Structure 1
């Protein structure tokens, strides 16, 4: 490993230990401390970390493990029923959020294309923040957790379609290639799901049954299975996160699934620290003065409109008032997919650097605001109050 990478890891995790201690003493969310540390150590401030792009790529593994562990807690039958029930809620809410993002961007005099892409970025909620703030041993087995997860998965499917649409617009000269980019994931998703369940039944479960006394082997097998499915999903035109989630769901019926989930949590947390650090490190602080007001407007509107829209739509599913509000506030932020949309649209020349940073700043602000709302109001693993802390 390059000495600069070793030095970067020292700064990140040494610094994270310091800011985490300060955050706990001052009763602040750890997620925000990691983002602030990234901004401080990144290229726009002290320039202590030289590899933000490399670290961003490595941190992506944390998201993959997060989705894998989530899948291990979801029974396939419950998941299917929830997806079927919540599909129209996800579609209508996404269209609503895109509209308010578009008109807000227009009000700040961004171009039509930039406003459309900013609207697109506002459609989704953060899988990472939402799942990080769900109690891992309580809500996943309850109705609220299933509803949050179902909506997030449906949004992820819509987000993948949106990313493919951006790529198609950016390479519109090759029409046949654009059609294939849409067709590939439509065929790939059922192929991935079917292959995963067959492999679990005929390969993984027999191996686990035979060698379950070798804990190191189970650990390696589960990591290999997670990353293999993530890679297969990308080859089939899907996201690595979706592949990891399918890998987890396929293995959820195994009696050893909870053992695997418990043992992979430290590895997941290692990479998630890198993820939140890289968000802060990749933001250009020199543009903050240009983007802060539209980003604040979008962030505040997101935190107000999303809970109200979900409250109204979930009422149509006969959900009670408290559950609807909780789901809405848990989904009140924008998504890491919004960051991908910003990076991709900027690289394709569809939006300028300023519009890209508006999306990034909005994501960071909503991560912060949403985290505060959840840790102060609902059960979660990092709550300030002992009454709300659940893990």
Structure 2
């Protein structure tokens, strides 16, 4: 038997350990992320036993972040980014300034050099892309105003960190911190800053002018070939190729390059299919990202410097939370929006680690400060899902007690008022299957209400009529409530995802025990799953296809008998 290469050993070891500890965490009703991080600690160099290759694990994690940012870009158009720029740009700038100042204050109290305190505080100021997106995607917030503000805020932070990573060597030389580095003048520093801004601006302009036309055209051309394998390869090639090219040619981060690649691909009508094709890889590499973080963690720092770690955690979880909350409320946004964004940003991640590593190599950050940063990052990542759970519970209690958690400026995509329709059919999903169901329903003259997450898909219905539309995820109780199930004649669940369909069926059955619920399935296991959750009838695609083929063959007089 051949010995496993470091790459294979790292992938297999990371995924197996992540599954094992993730399953335990889920069993104990803890955040699954805790299991992934623990798997990394077990596979890391600071614990006995198996030790994975940390360098390879980090590169695999970078792939995960690239694919994740690409997926976000697919759902985030230029119009969306411009719609939230008024709050995202000043909000991110002020919050980063507050967190950096608090980090410098902690460094001053500990007697650290000014440059070390600055780098430490800057690393505390930027939130993790993976953690934030995982949290808002799980709660179906990506297509809401809250989600768009959070993602826009994150993009601004990423842009700031791109500039910081490029400028930090110049700042190190200017301060004379790097061993043997000559002192730089303000004029030289200004040239570096201007050159960096110019490269980032050039990349963005190139993507908006050329990429916006070229990427959708390439995707459409490949789709016409009829090869799903080639289409999947094209999506991955565009995502990874643009990310790599952005980093090599423009010194832009992989993550930002992938985000713009996804945003340009989102202009294509095939963007939904592109997102589905990359989803399995995104999930797998996102797991490896959390494993890689756990591998960097040295548990000994908790015993050596517990109070410093606690202070750093308070800056991340409390300081950043309060700063974001005050900023969002100052812009007149709803209380629920302010809380959601504040909780989303109360953690740090991948850019913090990159900045810390660069700071150590330049002599701006000590090894102790780096270990404190890693410990605080892991604690914040573990605490963040618990903050979201607490927020969800508070929102449910507030809504039950009729406390106004949504006031001032309503979210653009918040659940709509309850429909006034009666005896109507509620159709969930307006994809290829949903559209065909809609056409059949419309011929009956029955009132129709369509629920769909993709606003672009249902825009023709809003413009030309034919049905009421609720934009949102039907797995959310608030969205289902807007459909007025109490007065509905039937619910048709046409979404392909069995887990999402199951949530919808279960929620609808709990709200209306006598409602006629029809759902679609792709396997016999899905049929049993949906039926057990309360579906009145489940349509199994292959079974219906077989029945139609049989009936069509029997209609032909010359057809041979079928047994």
TM-score (norm: length of structure 2): 0.64
1:231 pairs with 2:263: no
Matched residue, 2:46: 44
CA deviation digits over 1:151-184, x for unaligned, max 9? Answer: 1111111112222232113344385885564334
Matched residue, 2:430: none
CA deviation digits over 1:312-346, x for unaligned, max 9? Answer: 11122110122112211111112321111211111
Identify, as 1 or 2, the structure richer in strand.
Answer: 2
Contact 2:166/2:196 (CA < 8 Å) preserved in 1?
Answer: no
Q: For 1:271-310, list aligned pairs within 5 A.
A: 271-310=285-324
Matched residue, 2:427: none
Matched residue, 2:198: 187
- Choose between structure 1 and 2 for higher RCO, CA contacts under 8 A separated by at least 6 residues: 1
CA deviation digits over 1:111-135, x for unaligned, max 9? Answer: 3332222211122112211001112
**CA–CA distance in structure 1, aligned partners of residues 163 and 19 of structure 2:** 38
Contact 1:329/1:373 (CA < 8 Å) preserved in 2?
Answer: yes
Contact 2:71/2:275 (CA < 8 Å) preserved in 1?
Answer: yes
Matched residue, 1:57: 59
Q: Which residue of 134, 137, 146 corresponds with 1:135?
A: 137
Deviation at 1:370, TM superposition (A): 1.3
Deviation at 1:253, TM superposition (A): 1.7
Contact 1:8/1:48 (CA < 8 Å) preserved in 2?
Answer: no
Closer, same or farther in 2 for the Cα pair 1:354/1:68, shift >3 Å? Answer: same
TM-score (norm: length of structure 1): 0.91
Q: Which residue of 2, 8, 11 corresponds with 2:10?
A: 8
Matched residue, 1:144: 146
Unaligned segments of structure 1, at least 5 residues: 380-385
1:97 pairs with 2:99: yes
CA deviation digits over 1:190-249, x for unaligned, max 9? Answer: 322333344445433333333323211121111111111112221202111110001011
**CA–CA distance in structure 2, aligned partners of residues 95 and 340 of structure 1:** 19
1:206 pairs with 2:217: yes
2:137 counterpart SS class: coil
**CA–CA distance in structure 1, aligned partners of residues 99 and 67 of structure 2:** 28
Q: Which residue of 331, 355, 373 corresponds with 2:387?
A: 373
Closer, same or farther in 2 for the Cα pair 1:305/1:50, shift >3 Å? Answer: closer
1:258 pairs with 2:260: no
Contact 1:230/1:242 (CA < 8 Å) preserved in 2?
Answer: yes
Matched residue, 2:230: 217
1:278 counterpart SS class: helix
Contact 1:192/1:232 (CA < 8 Å) preserved in 2?
Answer: no
Identify, as 1 or 2, the structure richer in helix.
Answer: 1
**CA–CA distance in structure 2, aligned partners of residues 68 and 125 of structure 1:** 17
Matched residue, 2:254: 240
Closer, same or farther in 2 for the Cα pair 1:75/1:5, shift >3 Å? Answer: closer
**CA–CA distance in structure 2, aligned partners of residues 312 and 179 of structure 1:** 33
**CA–CA distance in structure 2, aligned partners of residues 368 and 311 of structure 1:** 21
Q: Which residue of 25, 28, 41 corresponds with 2:27?
A: 25
1:138 counterpart SS class: coil
Closer, same or farther in 2 for the Cα pair 1:184/1:32, shift >3 Å? Answer: farther
